Structure 1
Amino acid sequence: MNRRPTLLAALALTATAALTLSACGSDDDSTAKDNDKIAGADTNKEKSPSPTQSASESGGRPKITFPSDAKNVFEGGKTGDPTKDAVLSDNALSVNSVDEAIFKGSTDTKALGFYNAEKALSSSITYARRYIDGNDTWTGVTRYFNRKATLSGDDKAYVTYCSDESKSYIKSRKTGKVDKSPATSDSYVLYNTALTKNAAGVWQTTDIVSKRGAKECQP
């Protein structure tokens, strides 16, 4: 079923975001093993390489590493617009940075604060801590699809996307036991995120809202 608690939802997006991302609602469920995640980019059917285990990033960007039994796959990402592509890439790295914190068992990682800021950072820390404090991690593959970026001026953007958690599972860090509950409609989550381009040119995720079981993301 679901491996993630939903990423603390109910973060207030701006009025502009609310208009841009009107398709989404928030999910207030905070049950530790029941809900969701984070992530981002565009609707193309073709798959772009996942930045999950990139050896190194340009421009002094921190390296993000995953264990061999876990992977995020981001579909799309190439829109033909270099700015939108950069937004989608950094949003995907934001997702990966949160998962890396879970895998490392620490929220004191370089990538977490590099790709996330403001409300999204505090929410991501709380989210990762719920895994860490519960002595859990996850395994398998999470797929991100229907990724769309919308620009607002030179330094603001919004990304919507869906996640498919039907093939990713909660794993006990202590025993190694994997909870392979069957997939349900709640294995699919809709995300709305807000991003701001910082002085270093990084599109940081600053706000996020998620809705588990959203009809827009069902197979």
Structure 2
Amino acid sequence: MAVAVAVVVLAGCGGGTEPEGSDEIAGVSEGAKASPEAHPVRDGIARPKVSLPQGDQLVFVPRETGDARTDAVLRDNAEYLRAIDEAIGNQDPKARAVAFYSKGAAYLDSVDWIGGFVEEGTTVTGTVRYVDRRVTFGKDGSAGLTYCGDESKGYTKNLKTEKTNVTPVTKDSYVFYNDRLRKNTKGVWQVTKSVSERGSKACRP
């Protein structure tokens, strides 16, 4: 799949430092049930409803850990990624949900990334799995989130011809992501920066 430089969705050409550790990541090849819609969040925040394009599915592993603060980061990051796919499907670079879940460099990169799909007249389809999602918290109140993206079954589709671009699976189908998030005054964990490394050994099955 094609990808954005600093924004993370269905692809990534951005730079980054390759993490140390095993070449295999738990969850990349494991099965996982996916829900077409996110779990409802009862935290009193008026959140925009996000719906994925027809035929598009995102899987998040883990969805929750049992720790309330960590789970809040995981949920909002998942909605950020879902919001980008929704915006691509609607051909709307400045979609409200994208702005709701991101700011600063991450928001600007998201707008550019979505705009590329609009120019090409394409959308997203298939299944992308985001696995080994790990959250750390900084002393400044920010959160770091690293995870792997398995795009081996995620594709682009031409909106006019409705033809799906089925690409072969290679090492570049697996991407390592490193996001930075900060909680805003509404209580939403917004992505402020996102970098990615395509073909990372840490994310290959």
Q: TM-score, normalised to structure 2's length?
A: 0.83
- Residue 119 (str. 1) matches residue 105 (str. 2): yes
Equivalence for 1:168:
154
Equivalence for 2:12:
none
Equivalence for 1:97:
83
Q: 1:46: Cα distance to partner?
A: 8.6
| Equivalent pair of 2:80/2:101 in contact (CA under 8 Å) | yes
Which of residues 6, 9, 15 is equivalent to 1:9? 6
CA RMSD of aligned residues (A): 2.3
Q: Deviations over 1:11-48 (max 9, x none)?
A: xxxxxxxxxx9645xxxxxxxxxxxxxxxxxx787957
Q: How many residues align?
A: 187
Q: Deviations over 1:36-82 (max 9, x none)?
A: xxxxxxx78795764x5248654210000112311101011322321
| Equivalent pair of 2:18/2:197 in contact (CA under 8 Å) | no
Equivalence for 2:168:
182
Which of residues 132, 135, 142 is equivalent to 2:128? 142
Equivalence for 1:203:
189
1-side partners of 2:156 and 2:185: how far apart? 37
| Equivalent pair of 1:135/1:172 in contact (CA under 8 Å) | yes
Q: 1:36-115 to 2 correspondence within 5 Å?
A: 47=32, 50=35, 52-54=36-38, 58=42, 59-115=45-101
Q: 1:107: Cα distance to partner?
A: 1.7
1-side partners of 2:89 and 2:95: how far apart? 11
| Equivalent pair of 1:46/1:75 in contact (CA under 8 Å) | no
Which residue type is aligned with residue 155 of structure 1?
A: G
2-side partners of 1:48 and 1:178: how far apart? 24
Which residue type is aligned with residue 182 of structure 1?
A: P
Q: Residues 182 and 22 of structure 1: is their aligned pair in 2 closer, same or farther, counting only changes over 3 Å?
A: closer
SS at match of 2:161: coil
Q: TM-score, normalised to structure 1's length?
A: 0.78
Equivalence for 1:32:
none
Runs of 5+ in structure 2 lacking a partner? Answer: 8-15, 20-25
SS at match of 2:97: helix
| Equivalent pair of 2:53/2:85 in contact (CA under 8 Å) | no
Identity of aligned residues (%): 38
2-side partners of 1:55 and 1:63: how far apart? 11
2-side partners of 1:106 and 1:134: how far apart? 13
1-side partners of 2:154 and 2:58: how far apart? 9
